[in-house]
Amino acid sequence: MSTLTHDILIIGAGLAGQRAAIEARKQNMDVGIISKVHPVRSHSVAAAGGINAAIGEGDDWKAHFRDTVYGSDFLADQDAVKILCQDAPSRVKEMESWGVVFSRTNKGEIAQRPFGGQSVARTCYASDRTGHMLLHTTYDQLMKTRPTIYSEHYALSLITENNHCAGAVVWDMEKGKIISMRANAVLLATGGYGRAFSVTTNARICTGDGLSLAYNAGLPLEDMEFVQFHPSGMYGKGFLVSEASRGEGAYLLNSKNERFMKKYAPQKMELASRDIIARAIMSEIAHGRGCGSQKDHVYLDVRHLGEKKIIERIPEIRKTVHEQLGMDCVKELIPIIPTAHYSMGGVPTNVHTQVIVDAHNNPFPGLYAAGEVSCLSVHGANRLGGNSLLETIVFGRIAGQKMAEHVRENTRNKGSVDFSHHEEKARARVDELLTSVKGTKSHVLRTKLQQLMMENVGVYRSKTGLTSAQRAWKKLSTESKAIHVEDKSPTFNMDLIHALECQNLVTFSQSIIASALARTETRGSHARTDYPARNDQKWLKHSMAVQHGENVQLFYKPVIIAGYAPEARHY
């Protein structure tokens, strides 16, 4: 078994991981970055609609702060939201100076479009390929700093010793061998987990591995019940029709050809926050006003925008709708349905991106998290579109700085502490899969989990559905311990990787179900049919879920209110 040592180990090379690495390299840290795919294939590349920053006339960070907290249904930690909104203009301008080709106004300034839940048009964009531009530009900058990148390396487990993190055990997919990576600081930047649901916008790689790395190490996961369903997924496919479409003026129509959002959000209409729109669509369908022969979707209408505007502002939407549905949205209505898109919950951190372990925000030394895998929480119960790309670069940068500080102050992990039991455990997990002769195939198990989650832990939830999900989850958990991997080759074995990912999906899904069952209120993306109102008295708090044998233990953490007291939401 080989061992490699770095000052800092970054797990994940999306925008958050890359931004952190640039910062740490600037401080002369020895940085190793591992990623299960080539860095520019990370899901950040798929982001479309844009990134928020209060840089326009008549806008300021305070308005951005208020919109974000309001959008979060008051569950966001306001100290973290302040940092996000105050730092946004500098980070976006930095990206511009690095070479991101933002779309422009007639005056030559960065163009901004309105996104859901905004009081001012605040979303900076590069056509509808913003993530692509941001990730490739950041990668250029990263390469200039010469970090060590381990592409096609898969993190199997965290090395935690004496209550601190000292590295990770990693599977080298090309060579088919286990490597022990030691570091004084480790960053989880592994992205989201849409693949726990059957209908999702997320890439196949979005399997929430980082969540299970933390959960299996005995660390808590925060606010896992808050899963964002994006209102406009392509019907039957799940692919995203970006909010850029509604930002540019698209309508939502039911089978009666009504713009039904007037009933749910009379002021903001199609630009209400995502939780409100996703619920509205599901209500229309439940009341028999869905479209198509099955009455199980609604329409998005972009036709009135005209071909010229569609080609200029949302060309990717037109292209993907054509590729996936064989339709031309210039002339035809797009059938849509809410689709699992983003995880507000994740590995809990403080504003310094240090992973925390209890209700008093005590850190777990050496371990950091940034980007979608983390829960700061800047999005609370519902994220506003355009705030996630922003979070990756604001807090990715902070993570790089804080890890460098930590490394300068702590040198202990570079020593010769014996980590062999961590390696042996990881080795046993891989060997068990590679020598399996029977058991469920990973794609079968994954599909079962995805359907279970979609049916019972989707836009609307209830005690009955969640309890039955909890029972069914137990069976899936047993099956996941003995997955049958047919391909026995050690090198580039995707059957093995899919099995490991599937085990991770099953593992952290337990925390989503348990946190959702316990939270007897409706807030943001967590809508309970049996508890339709928000209940601040009882539930203005963050859920924390910890693995406890076969079960989950929940505890709660106060929400940080810093300037904006909760009020009822109306759009």
Ligand X SMILES: Cc1cc2nc3c(=O)[nH]c(=O)nc-3n(C[C@H](O)[C@H](O)[C@H](O)COP(=O)(O)OP(=O)(O)OC[C@H]3O[C@@H](n4cnc5c(N)ncnc54)[C@H](O)[C@@H]3O)c2cc1C
Measured from the CB of residue 478, what is the shortest distance to ligand X in angstroms? 23
Does residue 389 touch ligand X according to CB under 6 A? Answer: yes
Asked whether position 51 contacts ligand X by CB under 6 A, the answer is yes
Structure tokens at 148: 């060590």
Task: Record the tokens describing residue 504, joined without a space.
Answer: 């991770």
From candidates 160, 180, 388, 510, binder to ligand X by CB under 6 A = 388
For ligand X, the binding residue among 21, 22, 47, 224 (CB under 6 A) is 47
According to CB under 6 A, which one of 8, 9, 10, 46 is a site residue for ligand X?
Answer: 46
CA distance 141 to 462: 47
Residue 85's contacts (CB-CB under 8 Å, 6 or more residues apart) are 54, 61, 62, 64, 65, 68
Beta carbon of residue 116, minimum distance to ligand X (angstroms, whole number): 11
Q: Does 14 bind ligand X (CB under 6 A)?
A: yes
CA-wise closest residue to 233 among 336, 128, 341: 336
* Least distance CB 289 / ligand X (angstroms): 27
Sequence-separated (6 or more) residues with CB below 8 Å from residue 529: 460, 461, 462
Does residue 212 touch ligand X according to CB under 6 A? no
Span 283-342, contacts to ligand X by CB under 6 A: 342
Does residue 378 bind ligand X (CB under 6 A)?
A: no
Site for ligand X in 546-565 (CB under 6 A): none
**Nearer to ligand X (CB atom), residue 264 or residue 342:** 342
If the CB atoms of residues 433 and 466 are measured against ligand X, the closer one turns out to be: 433
Instruction: List the catalytic residues.
Output: 274
User: Counting contacts by CB under 6 A, is residue 452 touching ligand X?
Assistant: no
**Nearer residue to ligand X within complex by CB, 46 or 186:** 46
12 contributes a contact to ligand X by CB under 6 A: yes
Site mask for ligand X (CB under 6 A), range 344-373, x = bound: ---------------------------xxx
Q: Assess 116 for contact with ligand X (CB under 6 A).
A: no
Phi-psi region of 295 (alpha: psi -120 to 50; beta: other; left: phi over 0): left
- Compute the residue count for the chain: 571
Of the candidates 370, 341, 334, 330, the residue with the CA atom closest to the CA atom of residue 353: 370
Segment lying near ligand X (by CB under 6 A), choices 271-279, 280-288, 387-395, 442-450: 387-395
Q: Is 520 helix (H, G, I), strand (E, B) or coil?
A: coil
Q: Where are the beta strands (DSSP E) in 261-386?
A: 298-301, 334-343, 347-348, 354-356, 363-369, 374-375
Smaller CB separation from ligand X, 36 or 526:
36
Task: Assess 44 for contact with ligand X (CB under 6 A).
Answer: yes
Q: Which helix (H) or strand (E) element contains residue 232? A: strand 227-234
Token couple for 433 = 């899969």
Tokens of 94: 């930095």
Q: Is 375 in the site for ligand X (CB under 6 A)?
A: no
**Interatomic CA distance for residues 379 and 399, integer angstroms:** 18
Q: Kindly state the smallest distance separating residue 188's Cβ from ligand X, in Å.
A: 9
Biggest alpha carbon–alpha carbon distance for the chain: 70
Q: How far is the CB of 504 from ligand X (least distance, A)?
A: 8
Q: What is the rounded CA–CA span in Å between residue 6 and residue 265?
A: 52
Q: Which residues of 5-21 are buried (b: 16+ CB within 10 A; e: fewer)?
A: ebbbbbbbbbbbbbbbb
Smallest gap, in angstroms, from Cβ of residue 275 to ligand X? Answer: 16
Other C-beta atoms closer than 10 Å to the C-beta of 172 total 17
DSSP, collapsed to helix, strand or coil, labels residue 475 as helix
Cβ 415 to ligand X shortest distance, Å? 25
- Region binding ligand X by CB under 6 A among candidate stretches 9-17, 66-74, 217-225, 312-320: 9-17
**Using CB under 6 A, which of the segments 199-207, 273-281, 414-422, 443-451 binds ligand X?**
199-207
Token look-up 């966001």 returns 76
Nearer to ligand X, 155 or 281 (CB): 155
Cβ atoms of 218 and 208 closer than 8 Å: no
Q: Between 142 and 469, whose beta carbon lies closer to ligand X?
A: 142
From the CB of 537, what's the least distance to ligand X, in Å?
32
What's the CA gap between 479 and 477, in Å, rounded? 5
Residues 129-188 that bind ligand X (CB under 6 A): 130-131, 154-155
Kindly list the residues in this chain that would bind ligand X in the complex (CB under 6 A). Answer: 11-17, 34-37, 39, 42-44, 46-51, 130-131, 154-155, 189-192, 201-202, 205, 209-210, 240, 342, 371-373, 385-389, 392
